[in-house]
Structure 1
Amino acid sequence: MPQTPEASDAEVPDSAGTGELAARVVKVKDAAQDIGSFIRAQREAAHVSLRQLALLAGVSNPYLSQIERGLRNPSAEVLGQIAKGLRVSSEALYVRAGYLEQRPYSPVRDALLADVAITERQKQVLLEIYESFCRENDSTQEELAPTDVPELSAETPHSLEEESGK
């Protein structure tokens, strides 16, 4: 009669680990569906067919369809190609897909990213210049901020006169 091996503690899956893994899988699936539905909405708003966008982005029709349905999570490179095909900001797609963190709200940034008269590269250069100006202004304001200056009181002029020997 063959003996059945007993399962050791190492072989028994950790229920907490399984739960974390399941949560991550759900999160990735939600992100894929979110980016897919966003791409589909942008494509439909631009009145571009699935085939046209696939051709513009250099991907196959079935692959793009799977992305839109949330079955596939596209790489950053493919997202960049789709962004070009849709003439939308690749940064917006990267944020939506979770590749980049959302930056603070800025009407200047939003206007630049929405502008269709300039290329993606031109948008990125302008944003870098804008951000460098913002950083420069922030550091200048920090330098101008008052440092630990003691509060002036009614006694201050008198005590200063005593110190100077008057």
Structure 2
Amino acid sequence: MASLNVGNLGSLGEYLREQRRTAQLSLRQLADAAGVSNPYLSQIERGLRKPSAEVLQQVAKALRISAETLYVRAGILDEKDREELETRAVVLADPSINERQKQVLLQIYDSFRKENAAETAAEKAAQAAAEPEASSQ
């Protein structure tokens, strides 16, 4: 198979290697814990293979780290998506509030995000409209 060492794959592999070493796991131990082959995991670490989201999730679980972090490193998610997912996960995992409260909190969170996105879009539109006027004077 041809090498796929492109974009974020190198940094993903380096990050995985670093996390594996921090967890004091051998390549074989991590491969066994994640349910993938040792050679396949080695190729991911060297940036030769692009793992699926499912494989990344298995590896993240074995390393006890956020799968979303690996998704961002692999280019599957952008940073803003990761932050939103992590915020939602924290709210949903909070044992001190009940399910109804969690849903209400997430609805409020969504409404604030939509409101802020609309304000940002309006500001950008106003700036774009003002630029032609300034350049024509």
Indicate the TM-score class for this superposition, using the shorter chain for normalisation.
0.5 to 0.7
CA distance in 1, matches of 2:91, 2:25: 25
Q: SS in structure 2 opposite 1:74?
A: coil
Question: Given the superposition, is the C-alpha separation of residues 134 and 41 from structure 1 closer, same or farther in structure 2, using an over 3 Å criterion?
Answer: same
Q: Which amino acid aligns with 2:67?
A: S
Deviations 1:80-105 (A, max 9, x none): 11011101010010011000111179
Q: Which residue of 1 aligns with 2:16?
A: 39
Structure 2 runs not aligned, ≥5 long: 95-101, 117-137
With over 3 angstroms needed to count, the CA separation of the structure-2 counterparts of 1:38 and 1:131, relative to structure 1, is farther
Provide the residue aligned with 1:135 in structure 2.
110
Work out which structure has the larger RCO, using CA pairs closer than 8 Å and 6 or more positions apart in sequence.
2
- Structure 2 residue aligned with 1:82: 59
Equivalent residue for 1:125, pick from 53, 73, 92: 92
Larger radius of gyration: 1
The equivalent position to 2:70 in structure 1, one of 93, 108, 121, is 93
Aligned residues: 104
1:62 correspondence with 2:39:
yes
Structure 1 unaligned segments of length 5 or more: list them.
1-24, 114-121, 142-166
Quote the Cα distance in structure 2 between the aligned partners of 1:105 and 1:54: 25
Moved over 3 A (4+): 122-133, 136-141
Shift of 1:136: 3.4
1:93 and 1:105 map into 2 onto residues whose CA distance is 10
Aligned-partner Cα distance in 2 for 1:136–1:126: 21
Rate the CA distance shift 1:52–1:134 in 2: closer, same or farther, 3 A: same
- Per the TM alignment, residue 30 of structure 1 is displaced from its structure 2 partner at its CA by 3.1
Considering fraction of residues, name the structure with more helix.
2
CA drift of 1:131 comes to 4.8
Percent identity of equivalent pairs:
45
If the length of structure 2 is used for normalisation, what is the TM-score?
Answer: 0.61
Secondary structure of the residue aligned to 1:73 is coil
**Cα displacement string for residues 130-165 of structure 1 (whole angstroms, at most 9, x for unaligned residues):** 654322345689xxxxxxxxxxxxxxxxxxxxxxxx
TM-score of the pair, normalised by structure 1: 0.51
